[in-house]
Amino acid sequence: MADDSIAVVDLDRCQPDRCNYECANFCPPNRTGKDCIVERGDHYSEDEPYDGGSDQIWISEEICLGETCGICVEKCPFDAIEIINLPSELEDAPVHRYGDNAFGLYGLPVPEPGTVTGILGPNGIGKSTAVKMLSGELIPNLGEHDSEANWDAVLERFKGTALQNYIERVIDGEVTVARKPQYVDQIPKQFDGNTRELLERTDERGVLDSLVERLSIGPVMDQDINSISGGELQRVALAATLARDADFYFLDEITPYLDIGQRMTAARLIRELAEDGERSMMVVEHDLAILDLLADTLHVTYGEPGAYGVVTDPKSTRNGINEYLKGYLNNENMRIRPNAITFDEHAPREITRSQVLFEYPDLAKSYGDGEFSLEVDGGAVHESEVLGIVGPNGIGKSTMAKLFAGQLEPDEGDLDFRLDIAYKPQYIEIDQPMRVDAFLSSIADDFGSSYWDTEIARPLQLNPIMEQNLTDLSGGERQRVAIAACLSEDADLYLLDEPSAHLDVEQRVQATTAIRRYAENHDATVMVIDHDIYMIDLLADRLMVFDGEPAVHGHATQPQEMRAGMNEFLGDLDITFRRDERTGRPRINKPGSQLDREQKREGEYYYSG
């Protein structure tokens, strides 16, 4: 194989007891008598035994003909093989490779004291591997996975680079690390107790009271950790991480389940901690508006998830995000995506009025003895439109959805329509012991058809996970399956609650495209509740805005055009947005900046001009 190619075998998918070794039998080098694809038990020697499935395959990267052949990839019935041509620009060996035919990482991000370093790229591209190395948990093997790794070789590799001083501190044991996990919904499985007990264990800087107040988690301090919501868990995880006294803070996705006001608070807390000048902050984030506001510098990551990942040198945040959206990295001379992600140049887009799907009167709903009340202004929802729904958490958005679905009866107002509604909830609980393909085929009448594959499976990247069990999926994989399940139902109204959670930027755009195209092709009406302004900006025709006091009183406006709705919504939050001149993407103005003040004076919170 050429030096710039690798072979990757997914051992979770390689199932030799269910195939006839088609990969080996049809491999051209094998057919000429060479040992290119063999059983792993035959490849490893007695001195280096293989402790996995000995009948799974191993591929010789020296003998393999590379991606130009690809016969084994096509013949494998379980999509377990990838033959990948690496970018020719990758002149150095990987920083780390996990083994034969396994994932490799090229490059490392650079933590710098007093700054917030952003990481932008797909899931599964090696960020966890990078953090293990930066924290000293894993010694990079520099691609030599068959020999013992040592820090001296690593230091020599990065001598004279921005990483040299940091690695020297890691070797000397001088770097302490605080880490916020990506999937906060796993915290209750790892900790048994109440919120206060968890947070008091982490308060190494004596700042817990301030964090609790600013993150508004006081009401859940004495609740069991397994009884609080995803948004509350996210804020608890942030407080637990930022309360620690560490040299290096790694925060993996700070925005899922948080509304935009809470996201801004989280960003401010991270920036404040960085500005003391001694601590390094590194943030992986897929909400580009928040990442843009938060990060001082940015590393773009690219590659093939699960196969290899590349970390670029640091870029300015604006240029890094714009290059990522464009799909072309200038300094690296690298195209990472065939098409650019584009935004409407001028907001809002014009709406073509269609037939009304249903009208609804003024509605009211209360819980308990004045515990929470919701008022909904009467309005109309049109066929074939995508209606965005925005507002703080705890303001009644899900309550309204249940009223429309007939799961709740209003206290005031008569809902005389009955619609078939497909609903994707905010928090996805999957405990069914069945495979993804079996689950989806039980919902979608056209499962497996070319149309279903083109419009749903491919955009949502479902084919690689079809044979996995639902209970084994990651948070992002569960999200994509849940979106697909919702769109696969035959319904009058499709309601999706926070479909962006745990999806990376490209997955969000692909999910947006799938939702938008489904609405257009099926004359379907879609209502999307989400806190990601990018997704709402790309997706929605009109907007329904919720305001009020979270957990006390909520009020929903009737649907309105985007500019008026966003001005109302952002005005309540005292946040202004502008359009990036080069890409048209939404950008948050820094609070108190000249442009922020000008837009507020003009009453234009949702883009000026």
Domain positions in the chain: 5-85, 351-573
> For 64-68, 142-146, 317-321, which range has the lowest pLDDT when averaged over its residues?
64-68
Average pLDDT rounded to a whole number, residues 272-278: 90
Residue 406's pLDDT is what? 79
Mark 227-258 as b/e (b = at least 16 C-beta within 10 Å). Answer: ebebbbbbbbbbbbbbbbebbbbbbbbbbbbb
Report percent pLDDT > 90 for the chain.
47
In which band, very low, low, confident or very high, does the pLDDT at 348 lie, cut at 50, 70 and 90? very low
Report percent pLDDT > 70 for the chain.
94
Residue 237's pLDDT is what? 94
Residue 52 has pLDDT above 60, yes or no: no
CATH fold match for the domains 5-85 and 351-573? no
In which band, very low, low, confident or very high, does the pLDDT at 591 lie, cut at 50, 70 and 90? confident
Residue 562 has pLDDT above 50, yes or no: yes
User: How many alpha carbons fall within 13 Å on the CB side of residue 273?
Assistant: 32
Distance CA 578, CA 588 (A): 6
Distance CA 459, CA 484 (A): 10
Average pLDDT rounded to a whole number, residues 263-272: 94
Q: Which helix (H) or strand (E) holds 284?
A: strand 280-284
Residue 342 has pLDDT above 80, yes or no: no
Closest C-alpha among 129, 146, 147 to residue 138: 129
In which band, very low, low, confident or very high, does the pLDDT at 581 lie, cut at 50, 70 and 90? confident
CA 121, 124, 129, 131 torsion-angle sign: positive
Of the ranges 50-59, 246-255, 330-339, 501-510, the best mean pLDDT one = 246-255
Residue 211 has pLDDT above 70, yes or no: yes
**Each residue's pLDDT tens digit, 292-338:** 999 999 999 999 888 899 999 999 999 999 999 999 999 888 888 88
Residue 338's pLDDT is what? 82
CATH architecture of the region 351-573: 3-Layer(aba) Sandwich (3.40)
Residue 349's pLDDT is what? 45
Average pLDDT rounded to a whole number, residues 354-375: 86
CATH number of 5-85: 3.30.70.20
For 64, 290, 538, 568, 605, the CA distances from 586, given in Å and listed in that order, are 46, 10, 10, 17, 11
Average pLDDT rounded to a whole number, residues 211-231: 90
Residue 49's pLDDT is what? 47
Q: Which residue's structure tokens are 């922020």? A: 596
Residue 347's pLDDT is what? 43
In which band, very low, low, confident or very high, does the pLDDT at 53 lie, cut at 50, 70 and 90? low
Average pLDDT rounded to a whole number, residues 387-411: 87
Q: Which residue's structure tokens are 């990079």? A: 140
Residue 75's pLDDT is what? 92
Distance CA 243, CA 212 (A): 10
Cβ atoms 425, 495 nearer than 8 A? no
Residue 394's pLDDT is what? 85
Coil, strand or helix: which one is 405? helix
Residue 45's pLDDT is what? 54
Closest C-alpha among 556, 554, 552 to residue 372: 552
**Each residue's pLDDT tens digit, 422-479:** 988 877 777 778 899 999 999 998 888 888 999 899 989 898 889 888 988 888 899 9
Residue 263's pLDDT is what? 93
Residue 179 has pLDDT above 70, yes or no: yes
**Each residue's pLDDT tens digit, 509-552:** 889 888 988 888 888 899 999 988 888 888 899 999 999 988 88
In which band, very low, low, confident or very high, does the pLDDT at 346 lie, cut at 50, 70 and 90? very low
In which band, very low, low, confident or very high, does the pLDDT at 256 lie, cut at 50, 70 and 90? confident
Residue 64 has pLDDT above 50, yes or no: yes
- Chain-wide mean pLDDT for the chain? 87
The single-letter DSSP state of residue 383 is: T
Residue 191's pLDDT is what? 81
Residue 70 has pLDDT above 90, yes or no: no
Residue 2's pLDDT is what? 46
DSSP per residue, 290-311: HHHHH-SEEEEEEEETTTEEEE
Distance CA 387, CA 394 (A): 20
Tell me the whole-structure pTM to 2 decimals: 0.81
In which band, very low, low, confident or very high, does the pLDDT at 44 lie, cut at 50, 70 and 90? low
Average pLDDT rounded to a whole number, residues 175-186: 86
Cβ atoms 360, 418 nearer than 8 A? no
Cβ atoms 569, 391 nearer than 8 A? yes
User: How many alpha carbons fall within 13 Å on the CB side of residue 227?
Assistant: 9
In which band, very low, low, confident or very high, does the pLDDT at 370 lie, cut at 50, 70 and 90? low
Residue 138's pLDDT is what? 92
In which band, very low, low, confident or very high, does the pLDDT at 5 lie, cut at 50, 70 and 90? confident
**Each residue's pLDDT tens digit, 476-491:** 899 999 999 999 999 9
197 CB-near residues (< 8 Å, 6+ apart): none
Closest C-alpha among 302, 329, 378 to residue 120: 302
